[in-house]
Chains A and B, each alone.
Chain A
């Protein structure tokens, strides 16, 4: 197994760092899948993280000037590593002004992702900084847990309001309740509701717009087309999971939307120029 990548462009380094930092805010540990064309940060839905799962896809060509990898075998030309994204984020944040940054899979006291940066100095000799981030290699037999999630058979798909606005509202609602109901319809309307014994608060959003999936994306086509555009579909989620998702977003995505499967799952999708992020929050009763 070999992996060697090099980032020279400062903007690419900056974007990559931001992606890794976003991931680090969403989860403490995740799986990094390396394929010849892509990098994936994957979190599989387990009881330990409240059933939340995540899939983040980056095209390596958007970030790396050089990228070479050799997977476990020629049929399985892939590398699967369990990593703590915060370590990667910390390492990358300190080398933002580097002339070049190399990311390599190495074996030191344990398997590591080594981030080696060449920093500019006033003298003729460059300064070299290395960060060894320990990783765990995931064996092939477990790879099935980290596959790309399939698009759920959603009832409503709607564009999200500005994430910052949503975050402000969710932050305040979190003080009042542990659970939040997110409901939306095919008329571009979304409500965020909390309800306790003492108080109920609802924030209404209008004219959000609905993505044009309905025609071809939905598996059996029928139910979503015949749905009454006014009727609301809802999912009740743990408010902290939603807040965690919103806190991590540092940059406005090109597109932000969510799919709701009635009382089952909330599927959030963010599309940026160079990466896509999907986040699944299961609904609670």
Chain B
């Protein structure tokens, strides 16, 4: 792979790395066919495009100082050297200075989270500023928030259930009128609880590019998707939400579970039901659950009702006691503005993170 970034793209790339660094500790580089990718050189190799997994700690420092990058770096070239298992990042700077960084990678298949956002009943679209203003009211240490949709308004409040001192914690709530959004679709009343930390990274990125943010969600338990796009880039964050214990579906057991600690951390430390989908038409939302990096340290419990994931057919339902299963997926698609042809639907490059791969049978496409 050989990729060249010039001018403002370098800054945008750096900002994307920053946003991703707030989501996870590892970074996948997954080049696609579009852009400046050279097909011929690929054919010479036996395998297809190299998928690189990099440690975020090694990559982030390269793009740390966005102001100095803006001033001094004219061109950035990223290439992969399979022989030495290294990603080579070269900054061609002013005054003839070239900085070369060799970052070792692990070759690995990235997990692609699939999310049918067009099927979500609730959709919000607003400038990043609005969401940033909403989120600003919550302290940086606030782990989880609940977003409530009920037809005349949307509200956001902090979520503290299950913590020992939740009686003594500050409760913050705010509500917004539909008029404040660029687009407001309230398909169903729903309260979803998700982790705020990962979202902040994306909001920061979106605000710096002045992009509107779209939010797609449905029932509690199903993921929520935050996405931004413009002409040259697209970013999506899919977050798990807490399942709602109160609403009982027919597939759930009759006994009442005793919910002990509710948190996204608990919801996520559960078996992952991975669906095999044959086509690109995604009919079923996978019940992916995530252990997002919550430093709550709350004990992991397995309330029986959450075990009832919609595993279908012969798809892999992993065992009941995963030590930790993390899926934080950020799909980042860099589309070159030069390429005009859209004949084949681009396979989205995936920057996804899935640890403990040995424990879970992976399907290459979901």
Q: Do residues A127 and B173 form an inter-chain contact, with CB atoms below 8 A?
A: no
A113-129 CB contacts (< 8 Å) to partner B: 121-125, 127-129
A110 interface residue (CB < 8 Å to B): yes
B35-62 CB contacts (< 8 Å) to partner A: none
A32 interface residue (CB < 8 Å to B): no
Q: Do residues B172 and A123 form an inter-chain contact, with CB atoms below 8 A?
A: no
**CA separation between A132 and B158, bound complex, in Å?**
11
B131 to chain A, nearest CB (A): 13
With A123-B177, A123-B180, A124-B179 as contacts: A94 and B168 at CB distance below 8 Å: no
Q: Do residues B175 and A128 form an inter-chain contact, with CB atoms below 8 A?
A: yes
Q: Which of A112, A127, A130, A131 contacts B180 (CB 8 A)?
A: A127
**CA separation between A108 and B174, bound complex, in Å?**
16
With A121-B180, A127-B180 as contacts: A132 and B170 at CB distance below 8 Å: yes
A87 interface residue (CB < 8 Å to B): yes
A282 interface residue (CB < 8 Å to B): no
Residue of A nearest to B153 (CB): A125
A91 interface residue (CB < 8 Å to B): yes
- Across the interface, which residues of B come within 8 angstroms of A129, CB to CB? 137, 172-174
Q: Do residues A91 and B173 form an inter-chain contact, with CB atoms below 8 A?
A: no
A74-126 CB contacts (< 8 Å) to partner B: 87, 90-91, 94-95, 108-110, 112, 121-125
B54 to chain A, nearest CB (A): 36
**CA separation between A128 and B136, bound complex, in Å?**
14
With A90-B139, A94-B136, A134-B167 as contacts: A128 and B174 at CB distance below 8 Å: yes
Q: Do residues A90 and B179 form an inter-chain contact, with CB atoms below 8 A?
A: no
**CA separation between A127 and B137, bound complex, in Å?**
12
With A90-B139, A94-B136, A122-B180 as contacts: A127 and B167 at CB distance below 8 Å: no
Q: Do residues B176 and A127 form an inter-chain contact, with CB atoms below 8 A?
A: yes
**CA separation between A35 and B180, bound complex, in Å?**
40
- Across the interface, which residues of A come within 8 angstroms of B137, CB to CB? 94-95, 129, 131
B161-191 CB contacts (< 8 Å) to partner A: 167-177, 179-180
Q: Which of B167, B169, B172, B180 contacts A91 (CB 8 A)?
A: B172
Q: Do residues B177 and A131 form an inter-chain contact, with CB atoms below 8 A?
A: no
A239 to chain B, nearest CB (A): 29
Residue of A nearest to B139 (CB): A90
- Across the interface, which residues of B come within 8 angstroms of A134, CB to CB? 167-170
**CA separation between A82 and B350, bound complex, in Å?**
51
Q: Do residues A125 and B177 form an inter-chain contact, with CB atoms below 8 A?
A: yes
